[in-house]
Structure 1
Amino acid sequence: MSSLDQIPLEKVRNIGIMAHIDAGKTTTTERILYYTGQIHKMGEVHDGAAEMDWMTQERERGITITSAATTCPWLGYRINIIDTPGHVDFTAEVERSLRVLDGGVVIFSGVEMVESQSETVWRQADRYRIPRIAFVNKLDRVESSYEETLKMIEGRLGVRPVPLFLPYRDEDRRLIGMVDLIGRELLVWDQASLGAVIERRPIPPVMEEKADLYRELAIERVADVDDRVMELFVEGKEPEPSLFHDALRNGCLSGELIPVLGGAAFQNIGVQPLLDAIVRYLPSPLDVPPVRSVDGEEERTADPSQPFSALAFKVAADRYAGRLVFVRVYSGTLPVGGHVLNASTGKGLRVTKIFRMHANRRTPLERMEAGDIVAVVGSSDILTGDTICDRSAPILLEKIEFPEPVVFVAVEPRTDAEFTSLTEALMKLVEEDPTLHLRTDETTNQMILGGMGELHLEVILRRLREEFGVIAHAGKPQVAYRETLFEPLEVEERFVRQAGGRGQYGHVVLRLEPLPRGSGIRFACTAKEEEVPHTYRNAIENALRATLTNGPVAGYPLADIGATLIGGSFHPVDSSELAFRAATSVALHKAYATGVFGLLEPIMEGEVVTPSEYLGDVMEDLARRRGEIRELQARETVQVLSVSVPLAETFGYATRLRSLTQGRAMYSLRVVRYDVVPDGLTEKIVRNRGY
């Protein structure tokens, strides 16, 4: 058993590292691994050698595609780290990681500051109430601004940042080191030792006034959440560092305060204080509330002696170990060979192997216990979101919610002989990635693959070739439109069949009405029991939902419709679930023929950042794409456009933007809502539908 496995639970930190793409997240993680002794040579993202980006495509593209897990020691603590993707197409990797983490580090670029995907992951973390610290990176860049980033964190994210460091630069704005506001010293990283040695100096006189100002701001913020610090603040006294740190930790755990550090990971500056902050301010498994069952009746605390419970948050194929299931253990202890229950399916299973993961490398363990994040081997039945638990003390935890796909392509094997290989490979990838959907088109009999964006599907198609040896031909990307109802209406259908003996009878009266965007399909019943008995209502709702998956305009699923069963009748002998299902389906097709229906399209929002000299061309191109510019901000030599644009108009946008700006602009867009397709475009969309 390694020393990492003997660390007490109060000294365990389960954290995620999150950021907008290119903020330096993976570079920061590489430095963390180096300074904690987990790797002995730093790998660089731009060289395709980052330890945590182990997939071939990650190394070639210089981006993180899958969330990678690792463990490292620091000052007697064990830090379990999940490095998550920054690209919006892989936001599901962030979602599933946040579900099982206790704390987070959000990295901001000191140049671009708070970007759109930074805000997205911040809101995701808000949903799970995860305490966070912030690290302002890239402060070695002359155009960076720690102070402006602080203001943006406060203004755009609506939180109260507490600055703990300030950058110190020379006259040429070259970053020399970081001023520790609470420790009252300047830290300078020795580059000959790759930043492993830190020299501590007095704060330079030119920085003293600014350091005093920001130290007072930090103490004032902490005083707002701690009475002891407030008393000292009112008296004009400063708290002891230990009191300040304890009070800041409490404010961080409650979500009231965000400790903010800074540095330049690529230049090996600022990473060790970040590690100190992780163990000092972020929670242990003992600091977070107990997990509760879906019904709220059961709960589990982070106690190795309690009944075992864990949540599966990721499934991955390993060429040596086979099918790996990543789990977060919330309570109890389970040894290798232990038997547990999959509470989501009701099936028993045996865990044959347990691994502590380091990117794609594995260290075998003898057991897993409360607070662990590990990978297990043992059953092909465990899926993402399943609960595994003690068979004698079952508990069902809440599943992980994932967004629906917004882009689809038809995929075909290169030859008929490869059809089975392609299908099996796609099924394995769908099992790994809950945002990937696979279905067969009823009209063309083609396999249709759905995902979160062009890059997402492009990565999947390449994984088919590289990991499974299957080459698939893909059609043009298609948008996942939806249909909706614009005006309320009532429909009625009496389904009667008599062919000797017992007949079939079902009679329904339905009222359909439009609902606000994002409402989905809602079913209600106001019919009396003597009109339509309760026995048949599930059959009616199921038939309604099944019929509404295929709309009247172009066969897309319907959305944002309220359907109410307001009346009907039944026959004591001839009525059946089958008859009421048939009546419901026919009634809805009557509504299709007489109602006013239309198309909804996914709308993306985000930012386009372009050098000022290309602003006119970029804005003109966005206008041609039916884009709307909601805000325009000037930052140094670039312009930041907050935009909304229909997803259908963004295919090929990356190539076009590179062409317009000589490769100097970048963008980040995500689907945020569905909206009505403008008049005149519906007919074109219907005519062009096909894969």
Structure 2
Amino acid sequence: MTLLKLLPRSSGVLQRPTVQSEVLQENVAHMASYAKYAEHKALEYIRNIGISAHIDSGKTTLTERILFYTGRIAEMHEVKGKDNIGATMDSMELERQRGITIQSAATYTLWKDHNINIIDTPGHVDFTVEVERALRVLDGAILVLCAVGGVQSQTMTVNRQMKRYNIPCLAFINKLDRMGANPNRVVSQMRSKLGHNAAFLQLPIGLESKVQGLVDLIQQKAVYFDGEFGEVVREDEIPCDMRSESEDRRQELIEHVSNVDEILGDMFLEEKTPTGGDIMAAVRRACLRRAFTPVLVGSALKNKGIQPLLDAVLNYLPNPGEVENIALHEKEGQETEKVILRPERSNSHPFVGLAFKLEAGRFGQLTYLRCYQGMLGKGEYLYNVRTKKKVRIPRLVRLHATEMEDVNEIYAGDIFALFGVDCASGDTFVTDTSLNLSMESIYIPDPVVSMSIVPVNSKDRDNFSKAIARFTKEDPTFQFTYDTDNKETLVSGMGELHLEIYAQRMEREYGCPVHLGKPKVAFRETLLSPCEFDYLHKKQTGGAGQYARVTGIMEPLPPHQNTILEFVDETIGTNVPKQFVPGVERGFRLVAQKGALCGHKLSGIRFRLQDGAHHIVDSSELAFMLAAQGAVREVFAAGNWQIIEPIMCVEVTTPEEFQGIVMGHLNRRHGIITGTDGLEGWVTVPLNDMFGFASELRSSTQGKGEFSMEYSRYSPVLPDVQEVLIRQYQESQGITQEQKKKKN
């Protein structure tokens, strides 16, 4: 691929030249190649990749460089640039103002005649569902790490998500130009904290302000990036002072790959010297099995290392044909059967696609899909396996951030979007109605923070309901409920920032300013010790009555299972007929929605139904459901109960001179420090004590401190906190009872 010489505009924005006729011709010819993007290409020439990392590791800047060097965009802009334009993939106004990615954005580009579909994902844990959705439909990923920060809390979360969906990845150590950059430390953290078998494929030539280029360990050459914007890639001899280190690192690379690849391992044992091609083939085989993680280096902001990273995407990450995708075939009265999908670029097999993201567009709902099998043409009909509805597809588009480009047909391996389809995230679509296939849905974490929400102006209620309906459909981690006890509407999400962003979007996009109340934490109530129950529900009012008796034990689950409810049927014989057991379970789960201590849900409890009694006429599923509810209320009175709360794993990064002050803040918030590493510290803190920490940290560190947190586990609250929660709940219930008496 020919790269064009780039010249700066007077404003500082990067732009292609417009004066030289030959450059114009080359530019037009190059951009015309994108019109051929939708051409029928073999699977070997397609890559579907995601770019994921911790906050501020440089994901969006890296994506901007990739689009620029591949000729997809004519100008580069910075995430927080002085021109107030912002990066291409940060299309939302809020993203450009805050300098963060809120929604994942899809695009496509061409590099060396390969189609590359790219999804840029957010780094904040509040928007973790965007990463989940992206990784569910991608074949490979680039894990971006900061050369200073290294492996951080959200890096671990992203790593778990990649493991969940079995995604092979490359590691790109970014920001070599920052003060304190230490790529060796980052690779060491990848091995110790993430458990990766990782080794350098490249070494940086210089660090911090002295970054010049990199050394390719496989081809044994130095690579420099000349030109105004690093667009000219120049190869040279390895600097003399780096030859010894390069040899050592190359040998280390061979050893790491030999441990997980038989072919290279045999060569290593036979003391044969592998060629560059041998090493590349071995790295690819190991990377596809997630047995090895290649590590590349560079600086996206300084335009160094991007072109070799693109080459590595083509060389080491899988094409859609190398990934096994499975659908579940459900047959009535039979066990679910696993079906391996065939990603062939033809219509020899019926179309199978997965809807992984929804968005409100100008022409109705925009649905992002990944095609796993077959092909789909404009004007064809799609069948939603979940809803059993058939819909015609009037328009197919490819996405470049907010821009859309119409295509006539798509094939297996493509990521595309369509309009006018009413569906949910995770729905499976097919063209053959006889296919009862469904693909594994996307993992959705539970919300951890709730806040009361109310429109500032009562006349805005229509717009408020429209905004809530749209956002809850687009984002399954953003939930809306009505609290009948407190008579208030609640929104729940993954963090304060998550809810704050949606409140701002309601005002900007729907003209509906809202007021968010004090955050409410998702406390839970659990048992401390087993408690037996024996409850008889008996009601006779003339005619058929109600009769049901249940006996058994309610007991606490182990601490690592204290977020779930478990129902176990241990009955033997016909004292409790099997057709009534679901009623017992339903009654238990219904009453578990509200505990007796503070009104929160029950969790970490096993309900063991051991025996009971029924009446031949008066027993029913309803009677047993009411008996189960009475049994749980009996345990409310007799059992030993405790409130548990979500504990967050908090990672704080701050200059050393503020470390003592920050530790003091965390100690006051009942934080337990579990580890420190240089400038970083890991702390477990109750979520209830974390509200307001962001402003406190900024003010006490002159704006230099930052933190991120993610859910860790549920643990018992402190006794004084439990007393306060119980008292507040009893007072609110007392007020409610008084109000009811006044109304009566």
TM over 0.5: yes
* Residue 149 of structure 1, CA deviation: 1.3
Counterpart CA distance in 1 for 2:249 and 2:385 is: 51
1:80-99 equivalences in 2 (<5 Å): 80-99=117-136
Secondary structure of the residue aligned to 1:189 is: strand
Query: Do structure 1's residue 195 and structure 2's residue 235 form an aligned pair?
Result: no
Report whether the alignment pairs 1:220 with 2:255: yes
- Indicate the SS of the match to 2:464: helix
Quote how far apart the aligned CAs of 1:11 are. Answer: 1.4
For 2:413, the equivalent position in structure 1 comes to 371
How far does residue 160 in structure 1 lie from its aligned partner after superposition? 1.1
Q: Percent sequence identity over matched residues?
A: 40
Aligned counterparts of 1:688 and 1:132: Cα–Cα separation in 2: 49
Q: Within 5 Å, give how 1:454-603 maps onto structure 2.
A: 454-519=496-561, 520-603=564-647
Partner of 2:213: helix, strand, or coil?
Answer: strand
Contact 2:370 2:415 in 1 (8 A): yes
Q: Secondary structure at the match of 2:301?
A: helix
CA deviation vs aligned residue, 1:192-234 (integer Å, no higher than 9, x gap): 1x11111211111111111111111112222223333234334
Distance 1:351 1:534 in 2: 47
In 2, the alpha carbon distance for the partners of 1:231 and 1:297 equals 36
Determine the structure 2 residue equivalent to 1:243. 278
Name the amino acid aligned to 1:591.
Answer: V
Q: Quick check: 544-553 or 359-368, which moved more?
A: 359-368
Aligned position for 1:257: 292
Deviation of residue 401 (structure 1)? 1.9
Aligned to 2:350: 307
2:218–2:280 contact (8 Å) kept in structure 1: no
Work out whether 1:664 is the aligned partner of 2:704: yes
Equivalent residues of 1:511, 1:564 under 8 A apart? yes
Q: Which letter maps to 1:91?
A: T
CA RMSD after TM alignment: 1.7
Q: Distance in 1 between matches of 2:530 and 2:409?
A: 59
Letter in 2 for 1:650: M
Counterparts of 2:515 and 2:73 in 1: how far apart (Å)? 40
1:37 aligns with 2:52: no
Alpha-carbon spacing, 1:686–1:418, altered in 2? closer, same or farther (3 Å): farther
Q: Which residue in the other structure is 1:2 paired with?
A: 35
1:293 CA drift (Å): 1.0
**More moved, 429-438 vs 230-239:** 230-239
2:172 to 127, 135, 138: 135
Q: Kindly state the Cα deviation for residue 679 of structure 1 after the two structures are TM-superposed.
A: 1.2
For residue 66 of structure 1, the aligned residue among 90, 103, 109 is: 103
Change (3 A) 1:279 1:116: same
1:15 pairs with 2:57: no
C-alpha distance in 2, partners of 1:25/1:530? 62
Q: Does 1:686 align with 2:729?
A: no
Work out whether 1:633 is the aligned partner of 2:673: no
Q: Summarize the Cα distance change of 1:445–1:224 in structure 2 as closer, same or farther, 3 Å threshold.
A: same
One-letter amino acid of the counterpart of residue 428, structure 2: T
Counterpart amino acid of residue 5 in structure 1: A
> What is the Cα deviation at residue 574 of structure 1?
1.5
Tell whether 2:425 aligns with 1:384. yes
Segments of structure 2 that go 5 or more residues without pairing to the other structure are: 1-33, 330-335, 734-744
The AA in structure 1 aligned to 2:357 is K
> 1:222-260 deviations in whole A, cap 9, x for unaligned?
222333323433444432222211111000001111011
SS of corresponding position for 1:46: coil
Residue 37 of structure 2 aligns to a residue whose secondary structure is: helix
The AA in structure 2 aligned to 1:60 is Q
Q: Residue 245 of structure 2 corresponds to which residue in structure 1?
A: 210
Q: Are the aligned partners of 1:341 and 1:394 in contact in 2 as well (CA < 8 Å)?
A: no
Distance in 1 separating the partners of 2:596 and 2:340: 46
Report how far residue 688 of structure 1 moved.
4.6
Rounded to whole Å, the distance in 2 between the matches of 1:187 and 1:358 is 30
**Does the 8 Å CA contact 1:16/1:105 hold for their aligned counterparts?**
yes
2:405 & 2:519 partners in 1: Cα distance? 41
Counterpart of 2:248, as a letter, is: L
C-alpha separation between the residues in 2 aligned to 1:73 and 1:221?
32
Tell me which of 690, 695, 704 is aligned to 1:655: 695
1:499, distance to aligned residue in structure 2 (A): 2.1
d(CA) in 1 for partners of 2:51 and 2:521?
A: 31
Please state how far the C-alpha of 1:52 moved relative to its aligned partner.
0.5
Aligned to 1:352: 394
CA distance in 2, matches of 1:191, 1:642: 42
The letter of the residue matching 1:147 is N
Shift in alpha-carbon separation, 1:506–1:349, aligned structure 2, 3 A: farther
Question: Residue 73 of structure 2 aligns to a residue in which SS?
Answer: coil
Offset of 1:345 from its aligned partner?
Answer: 2.3
Q: Which amino acid aligns with 1:353?
A: R
Superposed counterparts of 1:140-219, under 5 Å: 140-169=177-206, 174-192=210-228, 194-219=229-254
Q: 1: distance between equivalents of 2:483 and 2:264?
A: 65
For residues 339 and 265 of structure 2, what CA distance do their matches in structure 1 show? 39
Is the CA contact 1:332–1:370 (under 8 Å) kept in the aligned structure 2?
yes
Distance in 2 of aligned mates of 1:22 and 1:190: 26
Matched position secondary structure for 1:97: helix
In 1, Cα distance between equivalents of 2:426 and 2:712: 24
The separation in 2 between residues aligned to 1:104 and 1:161, in whole angstroms, is 15
In the alignment, structure 1 residue 232 sits paired with structure 2 residue 267: yes
Offset, 1:99: 1.1
For 1:278-301, what per-residue CA distance to the aligned partner results, in whole angstroms no more than 9, with x for missing partners?
Answer: 111001111011313173343322
SS of the residue 1:266 aligns to: coil
Matched-pair contact (CA < 8 Å) for 2:571–2:611: yes
From 317, 339, 343, the equivalent of 2:360 is 317
Native 8 Å contact 2:61 2:78 kept in 1: yes
1:5 counterpart SS class: coil
Q: Aligned partners of 1:233 and 1:546: how far apart in 2? A: 63
Shift in Å at residue 676 of structure 1? 0.5
Find the residue that maps to 1:126 and give its secondary structure.
helix
Distance across 1 between alignment mates of 2:399 and 2:196: 34
Give the counterpart letter for 1:316 in structure 2: E
Which residue matches 2:663? Answer: 619
What are the superposed Cα offsets for residues 442-494 of structure 1, whole Å, 9 maximum, x if unpaired? 12332110000000000010011111221112111111111111111121222
1:118 aligns with 2:134: no
For structure 1, the residue ranges without an aligned partner over 5 or more in a row are none
Instruction: Tell whether 2:677 aligns with 1:607.
Output: no
Separation (CA, whole Å) in 1 of partners of 2:399 and 2:372: 18
C-alpha distance after superposition, 1:114-146 (max 9, x if no partner): 111111101111111110100000112241012
- Aligned-partner Cα distance in 1 for 2:652–2:197: 27
Post-superposition offset of 1:337: 2.4
- Give the secondary structure class of the aligned counterpart of 1:245: helix
Shift of 1:591: 1.3
Residue 186 of structure 1 aligns with an amino acid whose one-letter code is A
Q: Which amino acid aligns with 1:552?
A: A
Q: Tell me, in whole angstroms, the C-alpha distance in 2 between the residues paired with 1:505 and 1:122.
A: 53
Question: What's the secondary structure of 1:656's corresponding residue?
Answer: helix
SS of the aligned residue for 2:263 comes to helix
- The number of residue pairs the alignment matches comes to 683
Amino acid at match of 1:501: G
Distance 1:668 1:222 in 2: 34
Instruction: Report deviation, 1:191.
Output: 4.0
SS at match of 1:680: helix
8 Å CA contact 2:48–2:116 kept in 1: the answer is yes
Amino acid at match of 1:584: A
Describe the superposition over 1:488-528 as per-residue Cα deviations: whole angstroms up to 9, x where unpaired: 11212222222222222222123100002353001110112
| Per-residue deviation, 1:606 | 3.0
C-alpha distance in 2, partners of 1:142/1:680?
45
> Matched residue of 2:443: which SS?
coil
